[in-house]
Amino acid sequence: MADDSYVFVNNKKLRRGHTTGTCAAAATKAATEALLSGKPVDTVTIHTPKGITLDLPVEDMCITDSYVSCAVRKDGGDDIDATHGTLVYSKVSKTESGINIDGGVGVGRVTRKGLDQPVGNAAINRVPRSMIKEAVEDVRFNSDYQGGFDIEISVPEGMEIAKKTFNPRLGIEGGISILGTSGIVEPMSETALVNTIKVEMNMRSQGNKVLLVVPGNYGKEFSQSFPGIDPEKAVKCSNFVGEMLDYAVEIDRDIVLVSNLGKLVKVAGGIMNTHSRNADSRMEILAANAAMAGASMPIVQTIMGCISTDDALDVINEENLIDDVSKL
């Protein structure tokens, strides 16, 4: 990737990687080249939507009379995830016409509405499908072959890897998704997490005007105490409350946010990313609201000295200011 291999994040030089979608497209291109030429392919060149061109090694190539299969290894760069190091395979065979793409072993199958692909389709998203078709067309253009191709993408380790991903929650069964909008993995990227939240919101919004949202397991467990609420239908937004709320407005959905006090206090103070590295101010927010509710200066100072929001809540409760502070 030459100079495009690295990016600076928080003054650190970090290495980019490439997505499962890029792997699928690259493996397909290599298999197609070998199918039409009859010769093994060691390295394949693939152009990503981000504009970065990659030269990727091809592994485990198998050439037969009826098909060619091979793999390209997923590289997460310095943004290691569950799929890092996984081999993504493509099996390509000739057909009369068209380019038919499907998923094999280890590639999930969509079972719920609201996702990138319709129910029943392999979880190979739109951009990777486009990359695969473009790669095949590129090879066909440089050959005399005018027929079509059947393409099967598989990930032998996919079923086990999927257990570590959001796929079971999203209704994608049997394996991982083949993903990537730019073809490149950006190290320490929050975009992928936010996009996953949006995907789950789309899926949960099918037939529902109101979405239950929790930052994590605490909110999910706490929501079990409310009658009529199914915590299994909750959307997890992690620290990205602001992005979640913005997207809720975009898709015209109402939100019920259930969380522990620590995160909700930050949101009350206008802190829309609740990660501690962005801001804290929990005691400042509680102390300011207590002061507005009539707390004395010594009480405000006591709140400022608290270590946790639970401790601060005890102080506020002892002063009988819970209701007034909550209204603020």
DSSP 8-class letter at 165? S
Q: What pTM was estimated for this model as a whole? A: 0.69
**pLDDT tens per residue, range 208-230:** 999 999 987 778 788 888 888 88
pLDDT at 83 over 80: yes
**Amino acid in the structure at residue 251:** I
Q: Please give the residue that has the higher pLDDT: either 80 or 93.
A: 93
* Domains within the chain, CATH numbers bracketed: 2-185 (3.30.2110.10), 191-327 (no CATH)
DSSP β-ladder status, 148-154 and 99-103: parallel
DSSP states along 273-311: B--TTT---HHHHHHHHHHHTT--HHHHHHHHT-SSHHH
Under a CB-based contact definition with an 8 Å cutoff, are residues 105 and 154 in contact?
Answer: yes
Under a CB-based contact definition with an 8 Å cutoff, are residues 96 and 146 in contact?
Answer: no
Under a CB-based contact definition with an 8 Å cutoff, are residues 307 and 313 in contact?
Answer: no
Alpha-carbon gap, residue 287 to 304, rounded angstroms: 6
**pLDDT tens per residue, range 138-186:** 999 989 899 999 999 999 999 999 998 878 878 899 999 999 888 988 7
Banded model confidence at residue 7, pLDDT cuts 50, 70, 90: low
pLDDT recorded at residue 160 = 96
Structure tokens at 211: 């979405």
pLDDT recorded at residue 198 = 93
